[in-house]
Amino acid sequence: MYCDEIEQVIKEYLDNPKSEYAVMIDGEWGVGKTYFLTHSLMNIMETIDNGKSKRRKYAYVSLYGIKSAEEVSREIIFQYFGRKGKKKLETADTVMTTASNILTASLGAINIDLSKIKETISKIDINNWIICFDDLERCYLSINEILGYINRLVEHNNCKVVILANEKEIGKINLNQRLENKYQVVMSGRKLNLENESNEDENLDIKKLQSVTKMLFNEDILYKSIREKVIGLTIKFEPQMDRVYDSIINEYNADTQFKQYLNDNKTLILHHFKKSKCCNLRTLNFILETVRKVYREMISKSFNTVKYFNKIMNEFLEYIVLFAIYYRNGGSVKDLELTTEIGYVHLGNGIFNRIRGFKFLEKYCTTLSFSEGEFVDVVDQLRIEYAEKEAQYDSSKRGEAYGKLRNWWEKEDDEVNFLVKELKEEIKQNKYLFYEYQGIIGQLMVLQYWKHDVGNIDDFINIMNRNIENSKEVVDVERHSFSFEKNPELRKEYDKYIDQLKFQAKKKNQTIKAGEISEILKSDNGIEKLADYCEEHYNDFIMRYGFIDLLDIDILIDKMKKASVMELRLIIDIFKTVYGAKNINDFFTNDKEIICTFKRKVEEMQVNGINKDLAKHALVDYLKDIIERLGDIQ
């Protein structure tokens, strides 16, 4: 039932003198029951008697952690004294102005001395009060005792009682108290079976022990037997996500640009909530705050002024929404198998769905640790990718079958088989970017797993390797990973295929770049030209996960022996350009050994002049820093 419908039901309940029962508003944790209480229900309780000669008093009591009936009574008494004497008590605008109206404070901190106000307490008339109890499932009182207490308020004091609870959790908190003693009762005369022995009459395994303990001690059974006497009406709380979303984003009024972005993407966000059957407002708030963090980072780095801002931001948004719903609903990060900074993971609303995931967002959503270096690297990679796709967007040069196979489970078998054959022909015609190859192989393996005829995947690998061999540009096949949820055998087979592509790409890139750099070093002003080359091709080094292996370090040492002070300093700048990022161990793990060799040769190199010697030692110090940062790798 939606909020406006619940409001009407509660009003009718409070106005009906014959409704001699309590009303429960039942909803999952996080769906907004307390938000509804503070923004709607309390106002109803305050204003229901407007215009009447006598207005009823009301109280709110959180049962969270309550261990005795005396504590409940003390909470109600505290509210009585908390509001007594306030001049504006009778006006609606004071309902939310003091903390005493929504009492969550511990009575231990209040220190009311009941012994000094016995006479006043004896005059307190609780008859006809309106009382709201929250967090029934988190109460440490036995369910029999707390419902008995509520029943007395209803039957003997003619109170109207509204209970907010997550009904399916009622009784579980007491089930876990003194659990060892309960296990001992269940195991009396039996043996705990840890090795799946066959004697079922005498033995209990762990699952059966837990099941029998729950059957004997779970108060849920007791609750169901007595609830009907106390609770006359149970209302299922269902938040109106559309209205709640609008209400929440109004809190961003000061940031008009971001609020407009949330407005523009409202349909997408709520679509994923609906498909995932998620109504958790805490999750929604978490998502919006995470999106806000990323949006602000994009603005602070001026990425909003460059091409592809909205496209990149929307990719981040979709992953944040789906990952947050998955993770905050108990999903395991490990199961997603996101092994690279960017990769395809099993998330979404279908069992076959995969979306693009981002490691830096996964880390932020789970630890609130935001890596600016990783963030900037990902944005740079996405911009390069979009530019490459745009450059090859001519329909005659771009393949279409791979995209059509994304939703293969919605198609007829014949169409899937036709698209697989078309995909193979398009790869032969070199209509896909190299970094798409991992996704294509993963897609083919998924189809093969579900018994579709894709032929021999080795044939696809051979065609891809020929394309790599014929490339005149640097080849990147490692940009995206592909995950196989909880299927290590499939993952192992996938890695074997991809390793073949990586080997071919590495060999090709080595040939392309090593030849270019060798020619540059041998030329006049070679060090200066190498510095310009490294600035221009930095992303190439990242994509091939290596740089120094492209250098003939003996030629470089010979150049350095004859170099000027400024040229020696320029060598330092070259290494800072390539290895300056904080997260170099994500890209240059294979360079450490060669850098160590180069450092040793620099140390042995003889130079003439004080300033040249200073430049040489500065280079050695920076090489040591690179080695130390690469040394953090496990």
Query: Residue 164 phi/psi, 5° resolution?
Result: -105, 130
Tokens, residue 381:
């990679």
pLDDT, residue 535, reads 85
pLDDT, residue 215, reads 59
**Bridge partners for 236 per DSSP:** 26
**What residue ranges do the domains of the chain occupy?**
1-84+119-180+216-239, 241-370, 396-507, 524-630
pLDDT, residue 219, reads 52
Tokens, residue 7:
């409001």
Amino acid at 401: A
Euclidean distance between the first and the last CA atom of the chain, given in angstroms as a whole number: 53
pLDDT, residue 170, reads 80
Distances (CA, A) of 412 to 307, 405, 457, 503, 504: 39, 11, 22, 36, 36
423: left (phi over 0), alpha (psi -120 to 50) or beta: alpha
CA gap 520, 204 in Å, rounded: 75
Amino acid at 420: V
- The pTM assigned to this predicted structure is 0.55
Q: Are strands 231-236 and 203-204 parallel, antiparallel or unpaired?
A: unpaired
Tell me which architecture the domain covering 1-84+119-180+216-239 has in CATH. 3-Layer(aba) Sandwich (3.40)
pLDDT tens digits for range 299-319: 998 888 778 899 999 999 999
C-beta separation of 170 from 143 below 8 A = yes
pLDDT, residue 595, reads 95
What pLDDT band is residue 192 in, cutting at 50, 70 and 90? very low
Q: What is the mean pLDDT of residues 338-344?
A: 85
What pLDDT band is residue 112 in, cutting at 50, 70 and 90? very low
Q: What is the mean pLDDT of residues 504-521?
A: 76
Q: What is the mean pLDDT of residues 88-109?
A: 34
The better pLDDT of the pair 221, 397 is held by 397
% of the chain surpassing 90 pLDDT: 35
What pLDDT band is residue 107 in, cutting at 50, 70 and 90? very low
Count Cα atoms within 13 angstroms, Cβ side, for 145.
14
Q: Which residue has the tokens 């450490």?
A: 592
What pLDDT band is residue 46 in, cutting at 50, 70 and 90? confident
Q: Which residue spans within 297-358 are E strands per DSSP? A: 342-345, 355-358
pLDDT of 221 above 70: no
pLDDT, residue 397, reads 67
What pLDDT band is residue 420 in, cutting at 50, 70 and 90? very high
pLDDT of 70 above 50: yes
The residues near 46 (Cβ < 8 Å, ≥ 6 apart) are 58, 92, 95
pLDDT tens digits for range 442-466: 999 999 999 999 999 999 999 999 9
What pLDDT band is residue 503 in, cutting at 50, 70 and 90? confident
Q: Which residue has the tokens 């029999």?
A: 144
pLDDT of 186 above 60: no
pLDDT of 441 above 70: yes
Q: What is the mean pLDDT of residues 17-34?
A: 87
420: left (phi over 0), alpha (psi -120 to 50) or beta: alpha
Query: Residue 343 phi/psi, 5° resolution?
Result: -170, 165
% of the chain surpassing 70 pLDDT: 79
pLDDT tens digits for range 461-488: 999 999 998 887 767 776 566 777 667 8
Lowest mean pLDDT: which of 108-112, 276-280, 560-564, 622-626?
Answer: 108-112
C-beta separation of 164 from 135 below 8 A = yes
pLDDT of 76 above 70: yes
pLDDT of 149 above 70: yes
What pLDDT band is residue 110 in, cutting at 50, 70 and 90? very low
C-beta separation of 585 from 633 below 8 A = yes
pLDDT, residue 512, reads 59
Q: Which strands form 130-134's sheet, in the order they lie side by side?
A: 58-62, 130-134, 160-165, 22-26, 231-236
pLDDT of 553 above 80: yes
Provide the mean pLDDT of the chain: 81
pLDDT of 100 above 50: no
CA gap 422, 418 in Å, rounded: 6
pLDDT of 416 above 90: yes
pLDDT of 574 above 50: yes
Return the biggest CA–CA distance within the chain.
104
